[in-house]
Amino acid sequence: MTSISSDVIRGYNDTMILYLLLDGPSYGYEISKKIREISEEKYVIKETTLYSAFTRMEKNGYIQSFYQTAENGKRRTYYQITQEGITYYQQKYNEWDLTQEVVQHFMKKIL
């Protein structure tokens, strides 16, 4: 069975997280759950990967964190996308568009 190579996906973890944050602020587990659901269980992001992406992007100014108490009374760290984050996402989108277009030319199914 094919599984996703972590080397390849690594460059796109940030993009996936930012994509989800475009819809509004969210917290760690919710994001990891959505990634799993949207990818139809084909990609499960590790907790450490997710957290390191959060800290990296926060440092770069793409996201901001804030505390909020959830409905069940739990205090959680929420993340929201910044203007720089949106710009960065746009760049990544264009980059991916180009990348997949280029790489696609070299892909064919061998029967």
Partner 1 sequence: MEAIRNYLESMFANLPNTTEVQRAKSELGQMMEDKYQELIEEGKTDNEAVGIVISDFGNLDELADTLGIRGAMQAQPQIQARLLTGEEVKEYVSDDGRATFATSIGVMLCIFLPIPFIAAECVIEGLHTGERIPFALAITCFFVMLAAAIAIFVMNGIKMEKWKYLKRDAVCIDYATADYLQKVSDADRSGHAVLKVVGVLLCVFCFVPVAVIGSLTDNDVPAMIGAIILFLCVGIGVMMLVNAGAKEDAYKTLLRLNSPATVGGNYVRSQAEIRYTNPTVEKFMGVFNPTILCIYLCWSFLTFDWHITWIIWPIAAVVRYLINSTWGEKGGKF
Instruction: Choose between 40 and 101: whose C-beta lies nearer to partner 1.
Output: 40
Q: Which span sits near partner 1 by CB under 8 A: 23-31, 80-88, 92-100, 103-111?
A: 23-31
- Of 35 and 81, which CB lies nearer to partner 1 in the complex structure? 35
Q: How far is the CB of 4 from partner 1 (least distance, A)?
A: 14
Closest CA to 63 of 75, 51, 71, 73: 51
Q: Are 82 and 63 in contact (CB under 8 A)?
A: yes
Report the C-alpha gap between 111 and 56 in whole angstroms.
42
Query: Is residue 32 close enough to count as binding partner 1 by CB under 8 A?
Result: yes
| Smallest gap from residue 100 Cβ to partner 1 (A) | 26
| Residue number, 30 or 86, with CB nearest to partner 1 | 30
Residues forming the site for partner 1 (CB under 8 A): 27-30, 32-33, 44, 46-52, 54-56, 59, 74, 76-77
